[in-house]
Structure 1
Amino acid sequence: MMPRPARLRPLVLWPLLALLLQAQGPVRDLPPSPANIYGPLFEAVQEAQVFPDGKTFADAVPREDPAAILAAYAREKPRDKVALAAFVRRYFSVRGESAGRPPLRAHIRDLWPVLGRAPFAATPGSSALGLDHGYVVPGDRFQEIYYWDSYFTMLGLKADGQGPLIEAMLANFVALVERYGHIPNGTRSYYLSRSQPPFLALMMDLSEDRDPALARRRLAALVREHDFWMTGASCLDGGGACAHVVRMPDGSLLNRYWDARETPRDESWREDRETAAKAAPRAPTLVQRDLRAAAESGWDFSSRWLADPMRLETIRTTAIVPVDLNSLLWIGETRIARRAEALGDQATARRFAAMANRRKAAIDRYLWVPGERRFADWDRVAQTPTAARTAASLFPLFAGHASADQARAVAATTRAMLIGEGGLRTTNIRSGQQWDAPNGWAPLQWIAVEGLGRYGEQALAKEIARRWIATVARTYRETGKLLEKYDVEDRRPGGGGEYPTQDGFGWTNGVTAAMLDRWPDLTPRVDAAP
């Protein structure tokens, strides 16, 4: 019988393979492996067992140039497993984590039914205010209508052909004004003592319903809401302010944020009591009113309202005349005048046109700082514009009452001070509060894009939109979520504030959809049609 030589033959091949490799050159001439390319980052990820299978990171695909990733790693220095995992998902596409995820634009369309709610009757003992029509919520912890959020959500509904839902939400808002005299911060009983930035007139601009009876009802709601904001004009005293109204040094009237209550907020009761206690000897009721007023502004919380940017207990919202609120009230006054004229009510049209003219003159006199090329808030105690550089400076452009010279100046200041890698910064102060750097918020991106575009600054407007969409898309690729706010410095989920960053998210969905509807060429590359 012949012997079986095949078993020993593979053992003999190894020396031959080594000789062949030597003939082709040393190992250092082979393409580098991930361990060679990423060095300390690779070692840290594998040592921390960020992924159960070490092959996962070895097979990950970089989203940016490796040198840029290593520079970011050296800069950010993520130390623990959680930080490393977040870093890797931000800079690498990891097998299995985004498979089957729909394109961003399709995902937004899919979210409207998820965030939509049916009408309901109030339950005795519950804080929820009943609503007669369907509506959309922001998402996550916010399971009720929020006033100014809804305008930006409705932009996306408009882009996605959801006209009936826009009409339903408008019907709810008009009914809230008829029931309570104003639109509350949100549809909870504990929000009824305050409103939010007044966007109702702009919401009505999105409607396509031209029924004359409905037009009269909506005009009445706008007038009644305006009355809510101006009620304090009848009780002004030597202090120069009452409720939402402030008398300026020349006797003209502008507005501030305010809340009818001075107790801790129900939804942040413990936090408000703790903040007020830190402010002693200042009366807790004063601090609590200012916390509530900041909640009415939507900017809760921001160095914009603080005497010391690093200390929330120094909040003084009611001492400040904000430029954004007064621009929105100017919009409301001009829309009321226009709607009244269309309905043949000339007396109302003339009255509100005159109010709008007086408001514009006061804004130009007190809230425009020509030497600093910006619109500002006014400190009614110090009788001077505040030093805060914020995205609120773009509201006069959004409203359309800025002059061409003012708009050019604000655009230059925005370009120099407020543009981050991932979009428009809220402010340029890092206070730890959520409405400060490095955070960017969807509504302010839209205010900037619309305002700059209105005055011919299309290139800057589109650049802000491009950076914002890239930030939203990047985080969506990494997490599968659209978020309430983003860090526009490092293009990742935002942070700070008194609650975790929320998922959903109504106004981010709406603004992103509206931007992509306007500029389809900004569609993220992974979403683009082949």
Structure 2
Amino acid sequence: MKFKIHIAQTIEKLLDQEDTDGDKKITIDDHGPKKFLLNDENGNSALIEGTYQLSNLLQELALAKKNNTEFAEIDLNEITEDPVKRISGKIKNLYWKGLTRTIDADGVKKILEDNKIENELAYLYVPFGDEIVFDYFKKLEAVTPKLKVVQMPKNISPEYVLSLNKKPGILALALQIKNNEISGVPFVVPGGRFNEMYGWDSYFIAKGLLIDDKIELALGIAENFKYQIDHYGKILNANRSYYLTRTQPPLYTSLIIDVLEKSNPDIFWIERHLKTAIKEYQTVWMEEGKRLTANGLNRYKAEGIGLPFEVEEGHFDDILEQYAPKYNLSTRDFEKKYLEREVIDAELDKYFIHDRSMRESGHDTTNRLVGVCANLNTVAINSLLYKYETDIAFLIKKYFKNEFQYFEDKSFSSEYWLSKAASRKDKINELCWNPEYGCYLDYDFVNEKQHFFEAAPTFYPLWAKISTPEQAEILVKKTLPRFKMKGGIAGSTKESIAGVDENAPIRQWDYPFGWAPHQMLLWEGLLNYNFNEEAQEMVYRWLWLITRNAVDYNGTIPEKFDLSISSHKIFAEYGNVGTEFDFITEEGFGWMNASYQYGLTILEDDLKQKLSDLVDPEDLF
């Protein structure tokens, strides 16, 4: 049944009655009567009851208001809709659109309003050698007063990147020609406040896009990955000037495989992307002394000089206050002078090599990697690169008759890549597997010992298919319970942070916080080894948490959760993107959206019904 509603009057009345804390949302924290009589212009009426239905009404009115009409037709079925169906439908039909961006004439309008830009000019950097892109943006600069377009040099040194801190900006991405018009190749940002494309976020986002048949957007992510490797030398942490020295966890081949499973690009598309993936593997990961170590395994090793530019003032106070007295400076003054390199401290510079490398890992931040990251062969990076090697072997065998012409004088067989993978697998099991604790641990190659910290990447070898059946059994039966919480797995075990000083910063990738990529990789790993019951349970726990929070908090889909309280109310480091909005979220959060859609493809029908009924996982498992 549809109701013809006066939008502004109804919103005002609804908020006045139900939004008792004044945050322009209706949540379980509000103390209104939780009953609202909806009257329409035709004399129809309906009683809307409970937080969920009231917040749905507010959301639908807010969407209708965007059409600049006085009245709206509100379908009662949308107000009372099954929560699982509603969340999934909003992700597919609304949130992906809200997160889609381009770097072109239209996209620049958003960049000019970017709250990360404090300069009078908005700088847009174009890579050396891409004259078409440079010409396009220079023409745009001529008609856009605040825009300043700069072509970068061929060799991008850490010193050059440091110099850009005085004029930070966005980096150009791929352009395309459609209907004789140039436009940016679209990408999807993690959350609504972002205008830049993030590295590993984009892979998990793409999984959700493919499930929701947003094929062109997933292909756009692959194209922008390729552009970054070809023009910036790596898949960037994000396409901003201060990320030029930092890559991200390698998931490009996984994206290629996922695209091929869902769509049918031509052989030329596969060849182009496979060549670029091999190029990335060789130039980013396999140069000795950089991200490749003498034992044959890899590490994260970001370049860059001094303090990471993107962090907010005060983020590093626990470290900087140890050094400021040495220079007779306050912590704040020391921070400023150190950032601008007026003060140089070699010991502190070494700390920030590890910090930048930790940020390159995507796990920013975790006690596991603080002050030591660049010394570690992490389980995560080596699992990801093992999958690169097996993915490349698979693609060569399936699509190129077991011989791939990389250059005129260089070809690869699938056996070559399988041999590399086998060697890596042996090394991982030799150096990282700990049979006593039944988990994989990062290996400190400097001190030649395992780095004891139980973290969620211990399950990556299940996803990459590195583990033996016996190891998998141990990981699932013995280790998984140490990570399992009501709403999923935490970033680490509680025991691993037990020795951390109580005054130290709370690290968002450790216990008790839960993140979508950890859940998604775990689910796939469980399915790889036929732990189907465990997969159902872990999917249910996570989707229950998302659903419960969305129902109770006006449709909120956050960046992460505190699993100790099964809540999006996070008090650690960077807050929680996706929780600040008025009336309705139109974006959710990228990899959280994707995890919901992916989880629903795994979950069996009886559990989907229990999820719709919000049955507590502790009553099921």
Q: Give the TM-score range, shorter chain.
A: 0.7 to 0.9
Which residue type is aligned with residue 173 of structure 1?
F
* Structure 1 residue 509 corresponds to structure 2 residue 593: yes
Identify the residue that residue 329 of structure 1 maps to in structure 2: 385
**How many angstroms does 1:191 deviate by?**
0.9
* SS state at 2:171 partner: coil
Task: Check the 8 A contact 2:168/2:242 in 1, yes or no.
Answer: no
- CA 272–289 in structure 1, closer or farther in 2 if over 3 Å, else same: farther
Identify the residue that residue 292 of structure 2 maps to in structure 1: 245
Which residue type is aligned with residue 246 of structure 1?
T
Return the alpha-carbon distance in structure 2 between the equivalents of residues 511 and 58 of structure 1. Answer: 33
* Structure 1 residue 160 corresponds to structure 2 residue 244: no
Counterpart among 372, 394, 412 of residue 338 in structure 1: 394
Q: Over residues 252-279 of structure 1, what are the superposed CA-to-partner deviations in whole Å (9 max), with x where a residue is unaligned?
A: x111111111321111164466454245
Identify the residue that residue 89 of structure 1 maps to in structure 2: none
Task: Check the 8 A contact 1:272/1:291 in 2, yes or no.
Answer: no
Return the alpha-carbon distance in structure 2 between the equivalents of residues 100 and 58 of structure 1. Answer: 14
Identify the residue that residue 68 of structure 1 maps to in structure 2: none
Task: Check the 8 A contact 1:264/1:272 in 2, yes or no.
Answer: no
Task: Check the 8 A contact 2:536/2:604 in 1, yes or no.
Answer: no
* Structure 1 residue 96 corresponds to structure 2 residue 54: yes
Identify the residue that residue 557 of structure 2 maps to in structure 1: 482
Return the alpha-carbon distance in structure 2 between the equivalents of residues 51 and 138 of structure 1. Answer: 27
Which residue type is aligned with residue 290 of structure 2?
A
* SS state at 1:128 partner: strand
* Structure 1 residue 214 corresponds to structure 2 residue 269: yes
TM-score of the superposed pair, with normalisation by structure 2: 0.65
Q: Over residues 26-77 of structure 1, what are the superposed CA-to-partner deviations in whole Å (9 max), with x where a residue is unaligned?
A: xxxxxxxxxxxxxxxxxxxxxxx8699xxx848569xxxxxxxxxxxxxxxx
Task: Check the 8 A contact 1:98/1:478 in 2, yes or no.
Answer: no
Return the alpha-carbon distance in structure 2 between the equivalents of residues 378 and 120 of structure 1. Answer: 44
Report matched runs for 1:105-504 at 5 Å. Answer: 105-109=88-92, 110-120=94-104, 122=124, 123-124=148-149, 127-131=169-173, 132=175, 133-207=185-259, 208-233=263-288, 242-248=289-295, 253-268=296-311, 270-271=313-314, 274-278=317-321, 280=323, 283-306=347-370, 315-341=371-397, 342-343=399-400, 344-345=403-404, 347-429=412-494, 432-479=506-553, 480-493=555-568, 495-503=570-578, 504=588
- CA 116–224 in structure 1, closer or farther in 2 if over 3 Å, else same: same
Task: Check the 8 A contact 1:391/1:427 in 2, yes or no.
Answer: yes
Return the alpha-carbon distance in structure 1 between the equivalents of residues 267 and 557 of structure 2. Answer: 39
Task: Check the 8 A contact 2:540/2:603 in 1, yes or no.
Answer: no
Report matched runs for 1:47-58 at 5 Å. Answer: 57=31
* SS state at 2:561 partner: strand
**How many angstroms does 1:351 deviate by?**
2.9
**How many angstroms does 1:150 deviate by?**
0.9
Say which structure is richer in strand. Answer: 2
Return the alpha-carbon distance in structure 1 between the equivalents of residues 248 and 240 of structure 2. Answer: 13
Return the alpha-carbon distance in structure 1 between the equivalents of residues 592 and 485 of structure 2. Answer: 17
* SS state at 1:436 partner: coil
Which residue type is aligned with residue 337 of structure 1?
A
Task: Check the 8 A contact 2:465/2:525 in 1, yes or no.
Answer: yes
Q: Over residues 406-455 of structure 1, what are the superposed CA-to-partner deviations in whole Å (9 max), with x where a residue is unaligned?
A: 10111123332000011111112356110011110000000111101111
Which residue type is aligned with residue 320 of structure 1?
L
Structure 2 unaligned blocks of 5 or more: 1-19, 24-29, 36-49, 60-77, 79-85, 106-123, 125-147, 150-166, 176-184, 327-345, 405-410, 501-505, 579-587, 614-621
Return the alpha-carbon distance in structure 2 between the equivalents of residues 406 and 197 of structure 1. Answer: 24
Q: Over residues 150-170 of structure 1, what are the superposed CA-to-partner deviations in whole Å (9 max), with x where a residue is unaligned?
A: 111111111111111111111
Task: Check the 8 A contact 1:439/1:494 in 2, yes or no.
Answer: no
Q: Over residues 147-203 of structure 1, what are the superposed CA-to-partner deviations in whole Å (9 max), with x where a residue is unaligned?
A: 111111111111111111111111111111111221111111211101111000001
* SS state at 1:305 partner: coil
- CA 526–468 in structure 1, closer or farther in 2 if over 3 Å, else same: closer
**Larger relative contact order (C-alpha < 8 A, sep ≥ 6)?**
2
**How many angstroms does 1:498 deviate by?**
2.8
Task: Check the 8 A contact 1:449/1:461 in 2, yes or no.
Answer: yes
* SS state at 2:250 partner: coil
Task: Check the 8 A contact 1:151/1:199 in 2, yes or no.
Answer: yes
Return the alpha-carbon distance in structure 2 between the equivalents of residues 496 and 433 of structure 1. Answer: 10
**How many angstroms does 1:112 deviate by?**
0.8
Return the alpha-carbon distance in structure 2 between the equivalents of residues 127 and 202 of structure 1. Answer: 30
TM-score of the superposed pair, with normalisation by structure 1: 0.75
Aligned residues: 427
Which residue type is aligned with residue 379 of structure 1?
D
Return the alpha-carbon distance in structure 2 between the equivalents of residues 192 and 316 of structure 1. Answer: 22
Say which structure is richer in helix. Answer: 1
- CA 476–397 in structure 1, closer or farther in 2 if over 3 Å, else same: same
Task: Check the 8 A contact 1:276/1:288 in 2, yes or no.
Answer: no
- CA 392–349 in structure 1, closer or farther in 2 if over 3 Å, else same: same
- CA 272–223 in structure 1, closer or farther in 2 if over 3 Å, else same: farther
* SS state at 1:254 partner: coil
**How many angstroms does 1:100 deviate by?**
5.5
**How many angstroms does 1:96 deviate by?**
3.2
* SS state at 1:255 partner: coil
* SS state at 2:297 partner: strand
Task: Check the 8 A contact 1:197/1:325 in 2, yes or no.
Answer: yes
Q: Over residues 387-409 of structure 1, what are the superposed CA-to-partner deviations in whole Å (9 max), with x where a residue is unaligned?
A: 21111100000001111001011
Task: Check the 8 A contact 1:420/1:488 in 2, yes or no.
Answer: yes
Q: Over residues 5-42 of structure 1, what are the superposed CA-to-partner deviations in whole Å (9 max), with x where a residue is unaligned?
A: xxxxxxxxxxxxxxxxxxxxxxxxxxxxxxxxxxxxxx
Report matched runs for 1:61-100 at 5 Å. Answer: 93=51, 96-99=54-57
- CA 485–51 in structure 1, closer or farther in 2 if over 3 Å, else same: closer
Return the alpha-carbon distance in structure 2 between the equivalents of residues 348 and 51 of structure 1. Answer: 63
Return the alpha-carbon distance in structure 2 between the equivalents of residues 501 and 155 of structure 1. Answer: 22
Which residue type is aligned with residue 243 of structure 1?
K
Which residue type is aligned with residue 444 of structure 1?
H
Which residue type is aligned with residue 269 of structure 2?
L
Task: Check the 8 A contact 2:544/2:611 in 1, yes or no.
Answer: no
Identical aligned pairs, as a percentage?
Answer: 26
Give the alignment's Cα RMSD to 1 decimal.
Answer: 2.5
**How many angstroms does 1:348 deviate by?**
4.5
Structure with higher Rg: it is 1
Return the alpha-carbon distance in structure 2 between the equivalents of residues 381 and 456 of structure 1. Answer: 37
**How many angstroms does 1:489 deviate by?**
2.1
Task: Check the 8 A contact 1:276/1:287 in 2, yes or no.
Answer: no
Return the alpha-carbon distance in structure 1 between the equivalents of residues 455 and 95 of structure 2. Answer: 31
Return the alpha-carbon distance in structure 2 between the equivalents of residues 448 and 349 of structure 1. Answer: 27
Return the alpha-carbon distance in structure 1 between the equivalents of residues 445 and 480 of structure 2. Answer: 29
Report matched runs for 1:30-41 at 5 Å. Answer: none
- CA 324–420 in structure 1, closer or farther in 2 if over 3 Å, else same: same
* SS state at 1:204 partner: helix
Structure 1 unaligned blocks of 5 or more: 1-48, 62-91, 234-241, 307-314
Comparing 210-219 and 177-186, the one that deviates more: 210-219
